Protein backbone atom coordinates (compact mmCIF):
# COMPACT_ATOMS: atom_id res chain seq x y z
CA UNK A 1 0.00 0.00 0.00
CA UNK A 2 1.57 3.30 -1.12
CA UNK A 3 1.73 6.25 1.22
CA UNK A 4 0.60 9.62 -0.14
CA UNK A 5 3.38 12.22 -0.12
CA UNK A 6 3.21 14.97 2.47
CA UNK A 7 1.80 18.33 1.41
CA UNK A 8 4.41 20.86 0.37
CA UNK A 9 2.69 23.35 2.68
CA UNK A 10 0.02 22.75 5.29
CA UNK A 11 -1.63 25.53 7.29
CA UNK A 12 -4.05 24.57 10.06
CA UNK A 13 -6.03 27.33 11.78
CA UNK A 14 -3.22 29.86 11.38
CA UNK A 15 -3.96 33.17 13.08
CA UNK A 16 -1.95 36.37 13.58
CA UNK A 17 -3.20 39.11 15.89
CA UNK A 18 -1.69 42.55 16.39
CA UNK A 19 -3.38 43.68 19.58
CA UNK A 20 -7.07 43.63 18.81
CA UNK A 21 -6.55 43.36 15.04
CA UNK A 22 -6.54 39.89 13.50
CA UNK A 23 -4.55 40.29 10.28
CA UNK A 24 -4.83 36.56 9.57
CA UNK A 25 -7.61 34.50 11.12
CA UNK A 26 -8.08 30.74 11.15
CA UNK A 27 -6.48 30.11 7.74
CA UNK A 28 -6.20 26.46 6.70
CA UNK A 29 -4.64 25.44 3.36
CA UNK A 30 -3.14 22.32 1.81
CA UNK A 31 -0.76 22.83 -1.12
CA UNK A 32 0.59 19.76 -2.87
CA UNK A 33 4.13 19.29 -4.25
CA UNK A 34 4.44 20.91 -7.67
CA UNK A 35 1.21 22.87 -7.29
CA UNK A 36 0.91 26.50 -8.38
CA UNK A 37 -1.42 28.42 -6.05
CA UNK A 38 -2.37 32.11 -6.14
CA UNK A 39 -3.39 34.15 -3.10
CA UNK A 40 -5.52 37.14 -4.08
CA UNK A 41 -7.57 39.66 -2.17
CA UNK A 42 -8.04 43.38 -1.60
CA UNK A 43 -5.39 45.53 0.07
CA UNK A 44 -5.28 44.74 3.78
CA UNK A 45 -6.60 41.21 3.30
CA UNK A 46 -3.61 39.71 5.13
CA UNK A 47 -1.75 38.26 2.14
CA UNK A 48 1.74 39.54 2.92
CA UNK A 49 1.30 38.82 6.64
CA UNK A 50 0.44 35.24 5.71
CA UNK A 51 3.66 34.99 3.68
CA UNK A 52 5.63 36.30 6.67
CA UNK A 53 4.09 33.60 8.86
CA UNK A 54 4.97 30.89 6.34
CA UNK A 55 8.56 32.13 5.95
CA UNK A 56 9.05 32.50 9.72
CA UNK A 57 9.60 36.25 9.75
CA UNK A 58 6.60 36.56 12.04
CA UNK A 59 5.29 34.04 14.57
CA UNK A 60 1.62 33.05 14.47
CA UNK A 61 -0.65 33.77 17.40
CA UNK A 62 -2.23 30.38 16.87
CA UNK A 63 -2.37 27.43 14.50
CA UNK A 64 0.17 25.12 12.88
CA UNK A 65 2.45 25.45 9.83
CA UNK A 66 4.12 22.42 8.21
CA UNK A 67 6.56 22.20 5.30
CA UNK A 68 6.81 18.85 3.53
CA UNK A 69 5.37 17.08 6.56
CA UNK A 70 7.53 18.81 9.17
CA UNK A 71 6.06 21.15 11.78
CA UNK A 72 7.89 24.47 11.37
CA UNK A 73 5.50 26.68 13.37
CA UNK A 74 8.29 27.84 15.69
CA UNK A 75 11.23 27.25 13.37
CA UNK A 76 13.54 30.18 12.47
CA UNK A 77 13.53 31.52 8.88
CA UNK A 78 16.99 30.13 8.04
CA UNK A 79 15.91 26.67 9.21
CA UNK A 80 12.89 26.85 6.91
CA UNK A 81 15.16 27.92 4.06
CA UNK A 82 17.25 24.82 4.71
CA UNK A 83 14.09 22.75 4.19
CA UNK A 84 13.65 24.27 0.73
CA UNK A 85 11.68 27.49 1.26
CA UNK A 86 12.55 30.70 -0.62
CA UNK A 87 10.75 34.02 -0.86
CA UNK A 88 10.70 37.23 -2.89
CA UNK A 89 9.29 40.56 -1.69
CA UNK A 90 7.08 43.38 -2.98
CA UNK A 91 10.03 45.79 -2.73
CA UNK A 92 13.28 44.82 -4.43
CA UNK A 93 16.00 43.79 -2.00
CA UNK A 94 19.23 44.03 -4.01
CA UNK A 95 22.68 45.63 -3.75
CA UNK A 96 22.36 48.45 -6.33
CA UNK A 97 26.07 49.34 -6.55
CA UNK A 98 27.21 45.76 -7.12
CA UNK A 99 27.07 44.03 -10.47
CA UNK A 100 24.31 41.65 -11.46
CA UNK A 101 26.79 38.76 -11.24
CA UNK A 102 28.06 39.82 -7.81
CA UNK A 103 24.51 39.94 -6.45
CA UNK A 104 23.93 36.44 -7.74
CA UNK A 105 27.29 35.20 -6.44
CA UNK A 106 26.45 36.43 -2.95
CA UNK A 107 23.18 34.48 -3.01
CA UNK A 108 24.84 31.35 -4.37
CA UNK A 109 27.66 31.51 -1.82
CA UNK A 110 25.32 32.12 1.11
CA UNK A 111 23.42 28.95 0.26
CA UNK A 112 26.44 26.85 -0.69
CA UNK A 113 28.55 24.55 1.51
CA UNK A 114 31.59 26.17 -0.10
CA UNK A 115 33.01 28.83 2.23
CA UNK A 116 34.93 31.79 0.88
CA UNK A 117 38.35 32.71 2.25
CA UNK A 118 39.04 36.40 2.86
CA UNK A 119 42.33 36.53 0.94
CA UNK A 120 41.41 34.20 -1.90
CA UNK A 121 40.02 35.83 -5.09
CA UNK A 122 36.55 34.82 -6.26
CA UNK A 123 38.11 33.50 -9.47
CA UNK A 124 39.35 30.55 -7.39
CA UNK A 125 35.75 29.37 -6.97
CA UNK A 126 34.71 28.35 -10.51
CA UNK A 127 31.76 26.24 -9.33
CA UNK A 128 30.15 29.30 -7.74
CA UNK A 129 30.63 31.33 -10.92
CA UNK A 130 29.16 28.58 -13.07
CA UNK A 131 26.13 28.25 -10.80
CA UNK A 132 25.57 32.04 -10.75
CA UNK A 133 25.86 32.33 -14.53
CA UNK A 134 23.42 29.43 -15.06
CA UNK A 135 20.91 31.20 -12.83
CA UNK A 136 21.32 34.47 -14.71
CA UNK A 137 20.90 32.67 -18.03
CA UNK A 138 17.70 31.05 -16.74
CA UNK A 139 16.12 34.48 -16.16
CA UNK A 140 17.53 36.13 -19.30
CA UNK A 141 20.15 38.31 -17.61
CA UNK A 142 23.44 36.64 -18.54
CA UNK A 143 24.27 39.36 -21.07
CA UNK A 144 23.97 41.97 -18.30
CA UNK A 145 26.05 40.13 -15.69
CA UNK A 146 28.64 42.92 -15.54
CA UNK A 147 26.18 45.80 -15.24
CA UNK A 148 25.52 47.51 -11.89
CA UNK A 149 22.09 46.57 -10.58
CA UNK A 150 21.14 50.24 -10.35
CA UNK A 151 21.35 50.41 -14.17
CA UNK A 152 18.76 47.67 -14.65
CA UNK A 153 15.14 48.43 -15.41
CA UNK A 154 12.57 47.62 -12.75
CA UNK A 155 11.54 44.55 -14.70
CA UNK A 156 15.13 43.33 -14.95
CA UNK A 157 15.59 43.81 -11.21
CA UNK A 158 12.52 41.62 -10.68
CA UNK A 159 14.09 38.99 -12.95
CA UNK A 160 17.27 39.13 -10.87
CA UNK A 161 15.26 38.59 -7.70
CA UNK A 162 13.88 35.38 -9.18
CA UNK A 163 17.43 34.20 -9.92
CA UNK A 164 18.45 34.92 -6.31
CA UNK A 165 15.41 33.07 -4.98
CA UNK A 166 16.37 30.06 -7.11
CA UNK A 167 19.96 30.04 -5.83
CA UNK A 168 19.19 27.55 -3.09
CA UNK A 169 17.25 25.18 -5.38
CA UNK A 170 14.00 25.73 -3.43
CA UNK A 171 11.19 23.20 -3.25
CA UNK A 172 8.65 25.87 -2.24
CA UNK A 173 8.84 29.38 -3.69
CA UNK A 174 6.81 32.29 -2.28
CA UNK A 175 6.43 35.14 -4.77
CA UNK A 176 5.06 38.43 -3.41
CA UNK A 177 3.57 40.42 -6.30
CA UNK A 178 6.29 39.66 -8.88
CA UNK A 179 4.62 41.80 -11.57
CA UNK A 180 3.92 44.84 -9.35
CA UNK A 181 4.94 48.08 -11.04
CA UNK A 182 5.87 46.39 -14.33
CA UNK A 183 4.91 47.69 -17.74
CA UNK A 184 2.80 45.38 -19.88
CA UNK A 185 5.75 43.98 -21.86
CA UNK A 186 7.74 43.41 -18.66
CA UNK A 187 4.76 41.73 -17.01
CA UNK A 188 4.37 39.41 -19.99
CA UNK A 189 8.07 38.55 -19.85
CA UNK A 190 7.86 37.83 -16.11
CA UNK A 191 4.78 35.67 -16.63
CA UNK A 192 6.60 33.64 -19.29
CA UNK A 193 9.64 33.31 -17.01
CA UNK A 194 7.55 32.00 -14.11
CA UNK A 195 5.63 29.60 -16.35
CA UNK A 196 8.96 28.16 -17.47
CA UNK A 197 10.24 27.35 -13.97
CA UNK A 198 10.92 23.74 -13.02
CA UNK A 199 7.48 22.12 -12.57
CA UNK A 200 8.81 20.30 -9.49
CA UNK A 201 8.95 23.62 -7.64
CA UNK A 202 5.81 24.36 -5.64
CA UNK A 203 4.83 28.01 -6.09
CA UNK A 204 2.62 30.18 -3.90
CA UNK A 205 2.11 33.62 -5.42
CA UNK A 206 0.49 36.85 -4.25
CA UNK A 207 -0.57 38.69 -7.37
CA UNK A 208 -2.60 41.88 -7.76
CA UNK A 209 -3.15 41.27 -11.48
CA UNK A 210 -5.84 38.59 -11.48
CA UNK A 211 -5.33 37.76 -15.17
CA UNK A 212 -1.70 36.91 -14.38
CA UNK A 213 -2.71 34.97 -11.27
CA UNK A 214 -5.20 32.87 -13.22
CA UNK A 215 -2.70 32.23 -16.02
CA UNK A 216 0.10 31.09 -13.73
CA UNK A 217 -1.71 28.94 -11.20
CA UNK A 218 -3.77 25.77 -10.82
CA UNK A 219 -5.88 27.01 -7.91
CA UNK A 220 -6.75 30.37 -6.39
CA UNK A 221 -7.37 31.23 -2.74
CA UNK A 222 -9.14 34.50 -1.92
CA UNK A 223 -8.42 36.24 1.39
CA UNK A 224 -10.75 38.88 2.83
CA UNK A 225 -10.15 40.52 6.20
CA UNK A 226 -7.64 37.80 7.01
CA UNK A 227 -9.97 34.87 6.34
CA UNK A 228 -10.26 32.47 3.41
CA UNK A 229 -13.31 33.62 1.47
CA UNK A 230 -13.03 31.25 -1.48
CA UNK A 231 -10.77 28.53 -2.80
CA UNK A 232 -10.88 26.64 -6.08
CA UNK A 233 -10.02 26.69 -9.77
CA UNK A 234 -9.91 29.99 -11.65
CA UNK A 235 -13.36 29.29 -13.11
CA UNK A 236 -14.81 28.49 -9.69
CA UNK A 237 -13.37 31.63 -8.14
CA UNK A 238 -14.55 33.82 -11.03
CA UNK A 239 -18.07 32.47 -10.59
CA UNK A 240 -18.17 32.88 -6.81
CA UNK A 241 -20.80 35.54 -5.90
CA UNK A 242 -18.88 36.69 -2.82
CA UNK A 243 -15.71 37.19 -4.85
CA UNK A 244 -17.68 39.09 -7.47
CA UNK A 245 -19.09 41.34 -4.75
CA UNK A 246 -15.61 42.15 -3.37
CA UNK A 247 -14.21 42.87 -6.80
CA UNK A 248 -17.29 44.67 -8.11
CA UNK A 249 -16.10 47.08 -10.77
CA UNK A 250 -12.94 45.09 -11.49
CA UNK A 251 -14.53 41.92 -12.82
CA UNK A 252 -13.46 42.82 -16.34
CA UNK A 253 -9.88 41.90 -15.35
CA UNK A 254 -10.92 38.56 -13.85
Q: Over 70: is that where the pLDDT of 117 sits? A: no
Q: Domains of the chain: which residue ranges?
A: 1-84+170-254, 93-169
Assign 122 a pLDDT band (cuts: 50, 70, 90).
Answer: low
**Phi–psi pair at 182, nearest 5 degrees:** -90, 145
Give mean pLDDT, residues 46-62: 97
Cβ neighbours for 236, distance < 8 A, ≥ 6 positions apart:
230
Give mean pLDDT, residues 169-180: 96
Give mean pLDDT, residues 93-115: 87
- Cα(166)–Cα(85) distance, rounded to whole angstroms? 10
Residue of 33 and 250 predicted with greater confidence: 33
Residue of 10 and 121 predicted with greater confidence: 10
- Cα(15)–Cα(5) distance, rounded to whole angstroms? 26
Question: DSSP string covering 43-107, please?
Answer: TTSSHHHHHHHHHTSS--SEEEEEETTEE-TT--HHHHHHTTEEE--SS----TTSBHHHHHHHH
pLDDT at 1: 45
Q: Over 60: is that where the pLDDT of 178 sits? A: yes
162, 168, 174, 175 alpha-carbon torsion, rounded to 10°: 0
pTM metric for this prediction = 0.90
Cβ 190 vs Cβ 156: under 8 Å: no
Q: Whats the size of the chain, residue-wise?
A: 254
- Cα(221)–Cα(239) distance, rounded to whole angstroms? 13
pLDDT at 251: 45
- Cα(33)–Cα(10) distance, rounded to whole angstroms? 11
Task: Name which of 44-53, 141-150, 232-241 the model is least confident about.
Answer: 232-241
Q: pLDDT tens-digit profile of 184-242?
A: 999 999 999 999 999 999 999 999 888 899 999 989 999 999 999 999 998 999 899 98
CATH number for 1-84+170-254: choose from 3.20.20.30, 3.90.660.10, 3.40.50.2300, 3.40.50.300: 3.40.50.300
pLDDT at 144: 97
- Cα(214)–Cα(192) distance, rounded to whole angstroms? 13
Amino acid sequence: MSVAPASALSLSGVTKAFGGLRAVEDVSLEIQPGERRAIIGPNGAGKTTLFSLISGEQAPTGGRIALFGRDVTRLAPHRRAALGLARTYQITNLFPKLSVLDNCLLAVQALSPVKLHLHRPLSRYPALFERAERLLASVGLLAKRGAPVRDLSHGEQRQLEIALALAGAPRLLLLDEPTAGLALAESQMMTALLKGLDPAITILIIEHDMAVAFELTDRVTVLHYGRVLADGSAAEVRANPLVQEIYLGTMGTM
